[in-house]
Copies of this chain bind each other. A is one copy, B any other.
Amino acid sequence: MKNIESIKEKAKLVRKWCMVSTTEAGSGHPTSCLSIADVTTVLFDKYLKYDLSAPLNKYNDRFVLSKGHAAPLLYTLFGIAGAYPLESLRTLRKFGSQFEGHPVPKFKFTEAATGSLGQGLSVGAGLALIGKREKLPYKTYVVLGDGELAEGQVWEAANFASYHHLDNLIAILDINRLAQSGETMFGHHLKEYADRFKAFGFEVIEIDGHDLEEIDKALQKAHSNTNGKPVAIVAETIKGKGVSFLEDKEGWHGKPLNTDQLKTALKELGEVDDSLRFELKMTEKTEVTKNPLEQTFSKLKFDKNKEYATREVFGEVFTELGKSNLNLYGLDGDVKNSTYTLDFYKAYPERFVECFIAEQNMVSVAAGLSRIGKIPFVATFAAFFTRAADQIRMARVSESNIKFIGSHVGVSIGEDGPSQMGLEDIAFFGAEPDIIILQPSDAVSTSKLVPLMINHQGISYMRTLRPKTPIFYDESEVFKIGGSKTLRKSKKDGLTVAATGITVIEAITAAEELKKENINIRVVDCYSINPVDAATLKECVSETEKPIIITVEDHYEHGGFGDFVSSALAKENLEVVKLAVSKISSSGEKSQLLSAAQIDAAHIIKTVKKLLK
């Protein structure tokens, strides 16, 4: 290794700023930075190809810090690469700084928000997958801590990476022995990690993570790997390496040095040259993925006399729009024949990603795809998005542009029983700020809403139904995010029933039955759950005999559609009566379960009559 002395000096500079910035902040994880400082210094100085002026240049190598608490290291590395003055690192963790406690998109060089552990390898796998599929020359490096290797998602990602032959993916494992509250499961027994990654199909290289020659050889080998296997560099490291009183000591996780300790530490580091810079390799070309939307609406036609399952129609529209919109990707967790992404898979296998039954990895892979300009559609049973709730939460922090399609919502799925029913999805997606939630009730509205999801930048979520429903709309109808459709209206409506999805047909049935008894109600299809159409509902309240809105939804009561309505109309003088699922459901026929949950036409009728008495 030619420039070993120069790299040593740079590693000292890295260490200095990881400590200075955290001491200045009064919190943070300096020792977790120090353990992997040597490996990342060699990586940045000798291998990383990166155009600092264009983080989204599609020829850039990708660097994912999965162990997000080592954020000061990430900031220091890009600082030494020349992205900003090192002195600015003193704003670490301060309000308004781009250098947050854990990386967020305001720091433009981060590939994803991290800090919830065990997600980075999946993000990296998503990035590497595109490199493979589009034959781009970049490498994806992911730095993982040893504590986070206990997260199952890491092993989902490992299977995914070897299955898809991502030999352009390099996982760097920082085996520093110490986790937050004690020793990790395997301490410094590197073999435990090596054996696991080998069994999961990785090329494994074990090294001393502080021997610059070994590091260089490993990175060289990883860099030139083309054997179809992803690489894991298992690095034995020392937490706090470089400062004797921190090295391999318990009690130093997530703890900055105080001013005196910092002085002692810097003294031990010796003279450090603040003017040193990494010599980043430049990328060959500059180009950012851009696939402008070609087709932004669906041309599908439906037979008015037929019934359709909205999940099936989604599949058709997705496939239709995928034809000319080349940035659309489909991600599946082995339910493509139920969510109806199967057609997309058949039509565009090169833009379909089979993730098997591993929802967490699937969502974080999508975050990787989104980062580099793709529009991933992630589809599974709505119930199983709870499996990836943390990944969705982090995708939101990452400002990802992901479209989630949750099929089999509610008790209306019938015989399969409660484990398969999505009944908390509106609560969860709805809690995260600014996630659009749509739920079409028929084929036409589905075909109109899918394009709106694509056109909207950010996360959106659509609920689709297992059973078939009749057609309510003419193909000329216009739908919009935040809109609704009034399906029954008279000059003498007693109150309003606001329904969504499967309950729309129940509400219409109720209205027709009530009409026979000369009771008129207004029925609104709130296909846009968030934002909900407050203006229309306000109008209903002012126009109906009683200022009452009955919300009917196939979702649990708390955090559902009804709460969006209550919230949107909080200033109005009205009563919102929520009909929603309030108990654990069971197996049974759709009609039995809708009735047991008290969200069917009969219960709407009963409630209306009671309220209009």
Contact = CB atoms under 8 A, between A and B. Distances in A.
10 contacts: A26-B415, A95-B589, A101-B587, A196-B196, A196-B200, A199-B200, A386-B389, A431-B557, A431-B558, A558-B564
Contacts of A155: 152, 155
Q: Which of A148, A179, A384, A386 has the most B CB atoms < 10 Å from its CB?
A: A386
A576 interface: yes
A418 B113 contact: yes
B397 A418 contact: yes
Interface string A226-245: 00000000000000000000
B577 A567 contact: no
Interface string A328-363: 000010111110001000000000001011101100
Interface of A: 25-28, 68, 93-97, 100-102, 104, 106, 113-118, 147-148, 150-156, 159, 163, 179-182, 184-185, 195-196, 198-200, 332, 334-338, 342, 354, 356-358, 360-361, 383-384, 386-387, 389-390, 393-394, 396-397, 414-420, 423-424, 427-428, 430-433, 530, 556-560, 562-564, 566-567, 570-571, 573, 575-578, 581-584, 586-589, 592-593, 596
Contacts of A581: 433
Contacts of A577: 570
Contact of A567 (B101, B113, B563): B563
A563 B558 contact: yes
Chain copies in the assembly?
2
B393 A358 contact: no
Contact of A570 (B117, B564, B566, B584): B566
Contact of A151 (B28, B156, B200): B156
In the complex, the 4 A-B pairs of residues with the closest C-beta atoms, listed nearest first: A152-B152, A115-B419, A95-B588, A559-B559
A77 to B, nearest CB: 19
A117 B199 contact: no
Nearest to A68: B419
Nearest to A434: B583
